[in-house]
Amino acid sequence: MKEINVAFGGELHNKIYSLEGFLDHRSDKSLPYEKRYESRHAVEILEGTLLEYLLCDQGVDNRVFDVNSLHSQGIALAGQNIAIEAVAEDEVIEAISLSSASAFTMGVQWHIEWADNDQPLDLCISNAFRTACEERLHTNDGKK
């Protein structure tokens, strides 16, 4: 997510945990490895966003989810064509999409790869990504 933002001219806070008013989003290194990736805080999906649409399309009307968001950097300034999709309770940007993209382009701060795969938020993102990959495969069928 952070690389997408910077690639489009955005800026980052390097150590958000050291800034007043922000939560410490870093991993708790004192915990056993498998416990470090449990949900740490909630994110709110913003109204009118791609994520809200994807959730509604899956029949989910909830807009607040607990996530395993672990990071020390955060977006300070959104880049050109970056749409903010979700924020933490301290307003740290937790998900973005690229409004000018011709295909599904989204970045998140949390570790979706560690998810238990039954959370509607992670499922809708995974499904949208899978669908975009399949569409790309069929669009380029036979081409390398």
Q: For position 96, which CATH number holds?
A: 3.40.50.880
The parent domain of residue 8 ranges over 1-142
**Number of domains composing the chain:** 1
Instruction: Please provide the distance, in angstroms rounded to a whole number, between the alpha carbons at the two ends of the chain.
Output: 27
How far, in Å, CA of 65 to CA of 73, rounded?
A: 21
pLDDT tier, 65 (very low <50, low <70, confident <90, very high otherwise): very high
How do residues 29-57 score in pLDDT, each as one tens digit? Answer: 888 877 887 888 899 999 999 999 999 98
How do residues 83-113 score in pLDDT, each as one tens digit? Answer: 999 999 999 999 999 998 888 999 999 988 8
Residue 144 in this model has a pLDDT that exceeds 60: no
The answer to whether the pTM exceeds 0.75 is yes
Beta bridge mates, 74: 13
Which tokens in the block code for residue 108? 């998140």
